[in-house]
Amino acid sequence: NAGVTQTPKFRILKIGQSMTLQCTQDMNHNYMYWYRQDPGMGLKLIYYSVGAGITDKGEVPNGYNVSRSTTEDFPLRLELAAPSQTSVYFCASSSGLASNEQFFGPGTRLTVL
């Protein structure tokens, strides 16, 4: 039981490049989330999903896209990378509503130059 896994761990992008951050969970959780964490700040929700085929915007969705074709996977897509997207990205999952514990992956550190 690996929990929530994220790839890659680190990535450097040039401005305007695109990439996909991968997230997979093996706990059969319906709810999945993407957060970003900027230095000295708490986590901000980018997108979330309440089940396969259903996604919705969080607090800071601009510049990102997501899809949820399976229960296990919740990839985050950056289409035109900008320096403002330099951050640490965390994927999380939970079994139900947000009052349940969220399980976090180890994070992806992204730098856009």
Q: State which of positions 8-67 bind another protein (CB under 8 A).
A: 33, 40-45, 48, 50, 56, 58-59
Cα 81 from Cα 69, distance rounded (Å): 24
Q: Which is nearer to another protein, 87 or 107 (CB)?
A: 107
Which residue in 36, 73, 24 sits closest to 53, CA to CA? 73
With binding defined as CB under 8 A, does residue 106 bind another protein?
A: yes
Cβ 70 to another protein, closest distance in Å? 21
- Residues present in the chain in total: 113
Q: Which is nearer to another protein, 5 or 18 (CB)?
A: 5
Cβ 52 to another protein, closest distance in Å? 17
Which residue in 6, 7, 15, 4 sits closest to 113, CA to CA? 15
**Rounded (5°) CA angle 28-69-59:** 85
With binding defined as CB under 8 A, does residue 97 bind another protein?
A: yes
